[in-house]
Amino acid sequence: MSREYSEQEVIRRDARAQLDAAGFPPYGYSWDVTHHAASIIDDFDETLHQPVEGVAKVPFRVSVAGRVMSMRIMGKAAFFNLQDQSGRIQVYISRDDLPEGYYNTIFKKLVDIGDVIGIEGFVFKTRVGETSVHAQRFEILAKALRPLPIEKEVDGKVFNEITDKEYRYRQRYVDLVVHPEVRKTFQQRARMITTMRSFLDERGYVEVETPVLQPLYGGAAARPFTTRHNALDMKLYLRIADELYLKRLIVGGFDGVYEISKDFRNEGLSRFHNPEFTMMELYVAYKDYNWMMDLVEEMVETIATVLHGSTDLTVGDNTISFARPWKRIPLFEAIEEKTGHDLSGLSRDDLATVAKKLELDIDDTMGSGKLIDEIFGEFVEPHMIQPTFITDYPIELSPLAKKHRTKEGLVERFEAICNGKALCNAFSELNDPDDQRSRFEDQVGLGMRGDAEAMQLDEDYLRALEYGMPPTAGLGIGIDRLAMLMTNSRSIRDVILFPLLRPEVEESAAETE
RNA sequence: GAUCCCGUAGCUCAGCUGGCAGAGCAUCUGACUUUUAAUCAGAGGGUCCCUGGUUCGAGCCCAGGCGGGAUCACCA
């Protein structure tokens, strides 16, 4: 289906045709890049490289490639800015340094802002002192047929900046070209994951891959996506967590395994939720949740230091210190601190009374675990800015966690809360298969009563536990949430390159509806 | 899902009480060999999100719809 081109697109398509006609390829095959913008600026030494009357003591010859970001044509010479992955460098190009016709008929007429070009020349400093490349040869590597919304910055004021969030998320390629800080966010995200991976590898934990397509889903309270395998004529779920497969590997004799992968939960979208998100899960044999708290602290502190050279980060309006040790406080104590109510040992009805007193919206279907969770989520979690371990959760909320060794009705579980949001979830793993079976049965009961997020009973997982799983500490950490903290991003969509959006409506399709 | 806000040129936005559709950047033509928001002179560019209504007349008022954003609520 053909589309009507805008005026600027018509002009650019015509320019491409003229390049073809002139035997000047609009799409090159390769370009030998010797330097990047940032390194040229760093390495330029005026005493050696600056030409005097056209001759430098040591010529600084470079070959660069990138996108044309601005253009200042002044008759027989021109300046433009070239952007590559490292930054921007100014290029000077003049008629007399190029073969006959290249400047006037090719460069001046047929090269546009947005084109990807290769430049070969030598480095010099202009009268006003800007390090620049004096071009002696150029090729067009990719002609841009659409105009780029490139912004201009003057005295800190920005013109033409793309502010339409939808545009930025849908056409992330454009967002990345025009917003260098977006590229930086994703470079930092990559570095964060690399740091985490080496942190875990150094300790001897093995990175593994477990199924995304699962006949049964489990390991978290969430609604799954469903799909179908044709040849086996079999209903499959996209995983909501890696947990149950990873613990099977602990049974199998791995002492430490981890996986960094996408999980999928069929839930609403928000500033903190994307239906597919990245999770790191780690399981270490012979350890418990106290040990795991030490590891989380050390890992996150390491990441902050590697990324920012400091354990203290600015996140929104707050300065957050990831320096060890983090505060550790049992769930009930944290609630009592904020609300004045000690919930320990309260019956379901007493909890409901407290919740009503605190003016929470509750209903009769909520069990005691859910009520405690509501009170915590409303009065405690949003106010915890500095990283804090909340420990010892009610057993109803944690069907895969081991009973607390001393506290009745609780499990050995913790969450790290930071900037008002849970960052990770961890526990001493339940390894008694009979206890696990009865917890699964409770979940199935919840599911029959209409809880769409209840877990399924996984017989094969129970079979694995029956062979004996060593005591194990388990951890799940939301990579996107951590990336938001580490890059000071307000929305999860700012740390996911291509967040899920409603399908784009075609202009023509919209008309026929 | 609920509430609030938004939709005008390629981009950012203005458009009064309802009275000829505007600016900057970008684009095009011309001048200009160290500019940097280059400068100077000129030009073109619009389904004002869609549908309907009120009106002599709608970008503006009304109704419905579509799309987006922000806030709120649950799992990370």
In this structure, are A316 and A453 located in the same domain?
A: yes
Backbone angles phi, psi at A498, to 5 degrees: -125, 80
> Taking the CA atoms of chain A, what radius of gyration do you get in angstroms?
29
In this structure, are A291 and A423 located in the same domain?
A: yes
Closest nucleotide relative to residue A170's CA, C1' based = B68
CA dihedral defined by A271, A501, A168, A84, rounded to 10 degrees?
100
pLDDT at residue A353 tops 60: yes
In this structure, are A250 and A116 located in the same domain?
A: no
In this structure, are A451 and A316 located in the same domain?
A: yes
What pLDDT score was predicted for residue A510?
Answer: 35
Alpha-carbon span A417 to A414, nearest angstrom: 9
**A378, part of any domain:** no
**A355, part of any domain:** no
**A209, part of any domain:** yes
pLDDT at residue A512 tops 80: no
In this structure, are A54 and A203 located in the same domain?
A: no
What pLDDT score was predicted for residue A155?
Answer: 55
The total of other beta-carbon atoms located within 10 Å of residue A368's CB is: 20
Closest nucleotide relative to residue A97's CA, C1' based = B33
CATH number for A15: 2.40.50.140
**A421, part of any domain:** yes
Q: Which nucleotides of B are covered by protein (CB under 7 A)?
A: 1, 9-13, 24-29, 31-39, 44-45, 47, 49, 66-76
Alpha-carbon span A215 to A475, nearest angstrom: 23
Alpha-carbon span A488 to A102, nearest angstrom: 46
In this structure, are A142 and A186 located in the same domain?
A: no
Closest nucleotide relative to residue A374's CA, C1' based = B74
Least confident of A183-197, A215-229, A233-247, A362-376: A362-376
Q: Largest Cα–Cα distance of chain A, in whole Å?
A: 91
Could you tell me the distance in Å between the CA of residue A335 and the C1' of nucleotide B23? 57
pLDDT at residue A507 tops 70: no
Rounded average pLDDT over A361-382: 82
Residue A158 — pLDDT band, cuts 50, 70, 90? low
pLDDT at residue A147 tops 60: yes
pTM: 0.91
Q: Quick one: which residue's CA is nearest to B65's C1'?
A: A513
In this structure, are A98 and A142 located in the same domain?
A: yes
Closest nucleotide relative to residue A178's CA, C1' based = B11
Q: How many domains, in total, are found in chain A?
A: 2
Rounded average pLDDT over A430-437: 96
What pLDDT score was predicted for residue A346?
Answer: 86
Residue A498 — pLDDT band, cuts 50, 70, 90? confident
Rounded to 5°, angle at Cα A120 from A134 and A60:
65
What pLDDT score was predicted for residue A503?
Answer: 67
Could you tell me the distance in Å between the CA of residue A108 and the C1' of nucleotide B3? 54
Per DSSP bridges, beta strands A276-285 and A256-264 are: antiparallel
**A315, part of any domain:** yes
What pLDDT score was predicted for residue A508?
Answer: 38
pLDDT at residue A511 tops 70: no
Residue A153 — pLDDT band, cuts 50, 70, 90? low
pLDDT at residue A506 tops 60: no
**Residue A468 lies in domain:** 181-326+386-499
CA dihedral defined by A366, A270, A211, A206, rounded to 10 degrees?
-100
Contact predicate A289/A414, CB 8 Å: yes
Could you tell me the distance in Å between the CA of residue A157 and the C1' of nucleotide B58? 36
Final residue before a domain boundary, out of A95, A129, A148: A148
Contact predicate A2/A8, CB 8 Å: no
Per DSSP bridges, beta strands A77-84 and A61-74 are: antiparallel
Q: Give pLDDT tens digits for A246-299.
A: 999 999 999 999 999 999 988 878 888 888 899 999 999 999 999 999 999 999
Q: ipTM of this model?
A: 0.86
Backbone angles phi, psi at A302, to 5 degrees: -60, -45
Closest nucleotide relative to residue A421's CA, C1' based = B76
What pLDDT score was predicted for residue A500?
Answer: 83
Could you tell me the distance in Å between the CA of residue A283 and the C1' of nucleotide B47? 59
pLDDT at residue A504 tops 70: no
What pLDDT score was predicted for residue A222?
Answer: 86
In this structure, are A95 and A240 located in the same domain?
A: no
Least confident of A145-149, A165-169, A212-216, A458-462: A165-169
Rounded average pLDDT over A289-318: 94
The total of other beta-carbon atoms located within 10 Å of residue A495's CB is: 25
pLDDT at residue A154 tops 80: no
